[in-house]
Amino acid sequence: MFATLSDRLADTFKNLRGKGRLSEADIDATAREIRIALLEADVALPVVKEFVAAVKERARGEEVSGALNPAQQVVKIVNDELVTILGGETRRLRYAKTGPTVIMLAGLQGAGKTTLAAKLALWLKEQGKSPLLVACDLQRPNAVNQLQVNGERVGVPVFAPEPGNAGGIEHGGDPVQVARASVEEAKRTLHDVVIVDTAGRLGVDAELMQQASDIRDAVQPDEVLFVVDAMIGQDAVSTAQAFLDGVGYDGVVLTKLDGDARGGAALSIASITGKPVMFASNGEKMGDFDLFHPDRMASRILDMGDMLTLIEQAEKTFDAEQALKAAEKLSGKGGEFTLDDFLEQMQQVRKLGSMSKIMGMLPGMGQFRDQLENFDDREIDRIQAIIYSMTPAERNDPKMIDGSRRQRIARGCGRTVSDVKDLVERFFEARKMMTQLARGGGMPGMPGMPGMPGLGGPGGKKKGKQPKKGKGGRRVSGNPAKAGQKAPAAGQKSNPFGGDVDYEKAAEELQLPKDFSKFLK
């Protein structure tokens, strides 16, 4: 969503590289580029003015003029200001001390409230809570049915005593009474969180505000969350302000963050309304929902990655026992890493989501955005099909896969022989690299690391002119004076400062303590 903003800011920072100091002209030019980048990203004008003024003020301060690398310091300033306008710090849910915690969702129709209610219920369930979904949207056709289907998908019960507008028939019903009855139902069935899904409209009107206010007064929610579509642009800010004045809310939930809109509205809401963004939905799956972290979002915008979120997702997804077995095999302690192990690890990674989303969380991947967007996740299915077409013996020992076996495997999975050959070759290369990393040997092909062909590491060959060798294989210096010096005899120590010294005899003459001689060997 923030691709345009990220690219413009990256180009702005490139212009500062190599500068030992920032002049007034440099600061003004940088501020102008940042202003244009924010306006193009659809950030509200008051927020842009405040943001640029803060960056310019700090950029003129001692923290930049005395810095060794002004470009990096400006990046840090922009990062800090982005965190500020995004809300400053992560805001978490407040739970009721007694009785069920009531969370009310409000917003326009089409913002994704009903789907988000189920996502929030699943997230709370993973936190150890026992949520209950409440269908109070009795106006939109089949809204109650949609909530029931989503509740079944996430394994959360739905309280829906009224069918609402279903099958083209208006059954009526009082959403305020449904909301009030849901709290009693939660107490009776021992649910500790109640999530109330309310009706929306295509636009802000008096009837919508009155109904939302009545539901709020009836259930006295502990949290009122305003759900907003991050793709609707500047209208998101005006709608957020209208709901704040008409109903009031405690936090904002952004939906459709995985869209291709410019997304500046998401940067504006927290700053203009003063209410923090609490949650973000960034995908169609029920698990694509999490707390909103301003610092992590700022890092993503500046192409510095989001490793903490990636680690958290990996901890929830990966099987620790399988990961330990794979690590032992790579380090040589638990047998050899096979194609079966490779397939298991690939399936674990698949659970994290699409590869483009995973890679997008790594620092510096903005420059490969086009390749990531064009990555076909079905390629993993093709690799899986090739491996499944092999016999157990071939998976355990891919070296035995010769030409005739490749043909058989290719016919079995519907791929070409060259696809099978490429997969096996890539597996050997990946296994070699991962094994070396697991043993602490460093990455192959990097200078100064073990096993580096052509780069001077142990076991590698040095490129360029080799020194001359004398008799017996001894290397001879190109300097005639040094080349004429006599080499030390076998077993005799050479003195780097010139001349040969008998260290044992010298130690006796110095009359050192008896135990001291061991330090001279």
The string of pLDDT tens digits covering residues 400-455 is: 988 899 999 999 988 899 999 998 888 888 888 877 766 664 444 433 333 333 33
Helices (H), 331-438: 339-350, 355-360, 369-373, 378-388, 392-396, 403-413, 417-438
* Cα–Cα distance for residue pair 68/88, rounded to 1 Å: 27
> Per-residue pLDDT tens for 49-72?
888 898 888 888 766 555 557 777
- Give the CATH H-level superfamily of domain 101-304: P-loop containing nucleotide triphosphate hydrolases (3.40.50.300)
- Give the CATH H-level superfamily of domain 311-438: Signal recognition particle, SRP54 subunit, M-domain (1.10.260.30)
Q: What is the DSSP letter of 505?
A: H
* Cα–Cα distance for residue pair 512/503, rounded to 1 Å: 12
The two domains 3-85 and 101-304 share their CATH topology (first three levels equal): no
Determine the longest span between alpha carbons in the chain, in angstroms.
111
pTM for the model: 0.65
Short-list 93, 31, 57, 5, CA closest to 297: 5
Q: 128 — phi, psi (to 5°)?
A: 95, 10
* Cα–Cα distance for residue pair 422/374, rounded to 1 Å: 21
Q: Residues marked as binding? A: 107-114, 197-201, 255-258
Q: Residues marked as binding for GTP? A: 107-114, 197-201, 255-258
Helices (H), 128-256: 143-154, 175-189, 206-219, 235-246
Cβ count within 10 A of residue 174: 14
Indicate if the alpha-carbon torsion angle 507, 512, 513, 518 is positive or negative: negative
For residue 37, what are the CA distances in angstroms to 216, 302, 335? 39, 12, 53
- pLDDT for the residue numbered 120: 93
* Cα–Cα distance for residue pair 375/360, rounded to 1 Å: 12
Residues in the chain: 521
Fold of the domain built from segment(s) 3-85: Four Helix Bundle (Hemerythrin (Met), subunit A) (1.20.120)
Residue type for position 341: D
* Cα–Cα distance for residue pair 135/85, rounded to 1 Å: 34
Domain residue spans of the chain: 3-85, 101-304, 311-438
- pLDDT for the residue numbered 482: 47
Strands 277-281 and 289-291: antiparallel
* Cα–Cα distance for residue pair 515/186, rounded to 1 Å: 80
Short-list 249, 124, 242, 156, CA closest to 198: 249
pLDDT < 50 positions in the chain: 441-474, 476-484, 486-499, 516-517, 519-521
Q: 519 — phi, psi (to 5°)?
A: -80, -10
Q: What is the DSSP string of 421-484?
A: HHHHHHHHHHHHHHHHHHTT---TTSTTSTT-TTTT-TTSPPPSPPPEE-GGG-EE-SSHHHHT
Residue type for position 203: G
* Cα–Cα distance for residue pair 180/196, rounded to 1 Å: 10
Residues 6+ apart with CB under 8 A from 318: 348
